Amino acid sequence: MAYKWRDYVNKVYGCWLGKCICGTIGAPYEGYKGRMDVDFTPELFAEMLPNDDLDLQVLWLDVIEQIGPDFSSLDLAKAFYEKYPPSPGEYAIFKKNFELGLKPPFTGKFNNPFYHDGMGCPIRSEIWACLAPWNPKLAMQLAAKDGCLDHDGESIIAEQFLAAMESMAFNEKISLKELIIKSLAFISDKSRFYQLVGDVMQWCEDYGDIDAVFSRVQRDYGHCDCTNMFQNMSIVVAALLLGKDDLTTTTMMALNCGFDTDCTCATVGALMGIRLGGDAILQKYSIGDQIYKLGAEIERRSYYVKDLADDVAAAATMFADRNSKFDIRDVPEDLPKEPSAPKNRFPVKVLFTYADGKPTVRPGDSKLIRVKLMPSHKLHEGGVVTVTPPEGFTVKPESQKFKFGLMKPELTFTVSVSKDIPVLMEKNLLKVNVALKGGESHDFFFGFIGEQIWKVFGPFWENVTYVKPPKAGESYYAGLGPSANEDEALTKIRQFHINMKADWEKDYLEDQLLGDAVLPEKLLQDPKYQGFVAYISQDRFCFEDFMKNTMPCVVYMVRNLFVPEDTVANIQIGHSDSFKMWIDGNLIAYSDEREHWTPENFHRKNIHLKRGNNRIVLKLARTSGVTDFSISFTKGGPCTSHFTEFGSSTSV
């Protein structure tokens, strides 16, 4: 079936108009976790507010306009890193990983345990649908290039699901329920997200009320983070099913569930906007074209939503030769043409992989890396790959020759870290020079992340009740103390037999680790006072990463944090149990609260770190079985970039 260009552009316009005005409705309430009762008024379609839901998609459009349809995840990653300053949540994790030399998909999956299932990539689905209308498979392929930058697994599936659904929404004859069902056919039925959508559809039938549906969602999919994908996508699906196919009804239904309201409202608004078309939205709500606010550091020819829609539609024609469903006969002839390859764009792409799947190293390690060369067009000549490591690292062989043929060349190198390296930096970039016989050459960079080096002392534990050690012929039971009744006596005995406690208030090593006190000679041979070295590969760790015991206990951890220059940093601490943190003997952070771990349970700003070693001492407790802990250093407090310039002195 042939479509008219104007009708297609009108639906693209409806997509972005719905995204903008409905995102603006949700933006003031973003992060409120709880039921609201906000009524729709025309005033809610106020001046457009900045929204990362839109910002990054406009940035992706800019990349495609410059590079064309053969853009890669790495092209998107470079633009994200260089041209989008905001750094909340998973965006900060992506930027940290990218700065450390990781490439997609590692930028989304490494060191990202909290945000990898975030809503940050499903909200970027619309551009892929608009570039691949009526072709859900192509829209999903494009979305996957995006999602892996800062997410992993289920969130990428959710973005692909939305891209497929929005792509099919360009067909006017399909209902919302059909859209959802058909979109499920394109994702794995083994995924948790697939199960979520199926459950929400069933609960919508069972309850017919979005509050009841969302209450049921939280039983099986609830998460503490307002931006978690599962609960927010459940709001999107439920609002679409129960919103009576009306833009404002659906949007307000999503809004009043709370959580990531700018995202949920913008997502339902975009899908409903595709179905309605931009002209119908303008007419129904008596509004004019909108001006969007852009947070990305790029220039557009205008900031009117209609011009954005025209530009996206023009970009879609670049994908027409790979979109068999793109049947538009009256495409204007004066549209911008697909860009030719930039003159300075090297004709070979390079894919780096870690043979063991781990991008981290410690002193004495040897790791295999694979360098795969992929020409962007047919090349006959070969060349040489030369790998230059950072100080303290070696590479064997240093260079290898290659030839292009039927198979893409894949070269293997061994990267080794000196066991005597004095400081292991977190950032360790290797330069890979690819030199073609014709004379062209290009430097690529990828990284290994240096693991944190800690010395651990402990475990220190106490009996639930202190009982003086018995002597020969004595019973220790009397030491448990008197009991008011038999139940109390039995409880004391069994607690003494089968439990322990972490005496958080007891000073075991403070005088030695923070002062000049010397251990008594009788303790010098005790392993828990001697300590042992532990390597921490990611920000978040737990006792089980370096000890096999499961008992309540206290441990001390010491790290010489190497800082190349005097620096003022901000600290984000995640913890699930009591902790204290000292830097160079000064108590920096303290909590005796037991909490659900997040990366940001605790903030401390303006910490002065001196050039050279800064001695960090941690005192951590396991009182109830969970010991998640993390430290990250940021440049400006919450939602800002992380430091990657620090390291660990190997002499602790």
Residue 648 structure tokens: 């660990």
* Three-state secondary structure readout of 173-220: CCCHHHHHHHHHCCCCCCCHHHHHHHHHHHHHHHHCCHHHHHHHHHHH
How do residues 229-264 score in pLDDT, each as one tens digit?
Answer: 999 999 999 999 999 999 999 999 999 999 999 999
pLDDT band for 1, please (50, 70, 90 cuts). Answer: low
* Domain 348-449: CATH superfamily, name plus number: Uncharacterised protein PF12988, DUF3872 (2.60.40.2410)
Q: What is the pLDDT of residues 115-156, one digit of tens each?
A: 999 999 999 999 999 999 999 999 999 999 999 999 999 999
Q: Which superfamily does 5-38+115-322 belong to? A: ADP-ribosylation/Crystallin J1 (1.10.4080.10)
Inform me whether the pLDDT recorded for 380 exceeds 80. Answer: no
* Helix, strand or coil, per DSSP, at residue 550: coil
Percent of the chain residues topping a pLDDT of 70: 99
Query: How far apart (Å, rounded) are the C-alpha atoms in residues 207 and 215?
Result: 11
List, for residues 268-310, the tens digit of each pLDDT value.
Answer: 999 999 999 999 999 999 999 999 999 999 999 999 999 999 9
Average pLDDT, the chain: 95
Q: Annotate 54-94 with DSSP letters as a single string.
A: HHHHHHHHHHHHHH-TT--HHHHHHHHHHH-----HHHHHH
- DSSP secondary structure string for all residues of 383-418: EEEEEEPPTTEEEESSEEEE--SSSPPEEEEEEEE-
Beta carbons within 10 angstroms of residue 341's beta carbon: 13
pLDDT digit string, tens, across residues 10-32: 999 999 999 999 999 999 999 99
Cα(191)–Cα(371) distance, integer angstroms:
31
Give the pairing type, strands 441-450 and 360-361: parallel
* pLDDT of res. 616: 98
Q: Is the pLDDT of residue 319 over 90?
A: yes
Q: What is the Cα–Cα distance from 151 to 146, expressed in whole angstroms?
A: 9
Tell me the pLDDT tens digit for each residue of 169-181.
999 788 999 999 9
Number of other residues whose CB lies within 10 A of the CB of residue 106: 25
CATH number for domain 453-462+500-649, candidates 2.30.29, 2.60.120, 1.10.1740, 2.60.40: 2.60.120
Q: What span, in angstroms and rounded, lies between the C-alpha atoms of 588 and 643?
A: 18
Extents of the domains making up the chain: 5-38+115-322, 348-449, 453-462+500-649
Phi, psi at residue 387, to the nearest 5°?
-110, 125
What's the Cα-to-Cα distance from 432 to each of 68, 386, 400, 415, rounded to whole Å? 26, 6, 11, 12
Per-residue pLDDT tens for 285-296? 999 999 999 999
- The tokens of 28 are what? 């003031």
Mind listing the pLDDT tens digit for each residue in 72-116? 999 999 999 999 999 999 999 999 999 999 999 999 999 999 999
Pick from 18, 455, 602, 625: nearest CA to 277? 18
Instruction: Name beta bridge partners: 238.
Output: none
Q: Are 557 and 534 in contact (CB under 8 A)?
A: yes
Instruction: Report whether pLDDT(342) > 80.
Output: no
Neighbouring residues of 375: CB distance < 8 A, sequence distance ≥ 6: 347, 348, 349, 404, 408
Mark out the alpha helices in 224-338 (DSSP H runs).
229-242, 247-255, 261-276, 278-285, 305-316
Number of Cα atoms under 13 Å in the Cβ half of residue 203: 23
Tokens 């062989």, residue located: 397
pTM: 0.95
Cβ of 247: how many Cβ atoms within 10 Å?
Answer: 24
52-67 and 5-26 are packed helices; what angle lies between their axes, rounded to 10 degrees?
Answer: 140
Amino acid at 550: T
Mention every residue, 6+ apart, whose C-beta is less than 8 A from residue 497. none
**522-538: per-residue pLDDT in tens?**
999 999 999 999 999 99
| 520 pLDDT above the threshold of 80 | yes
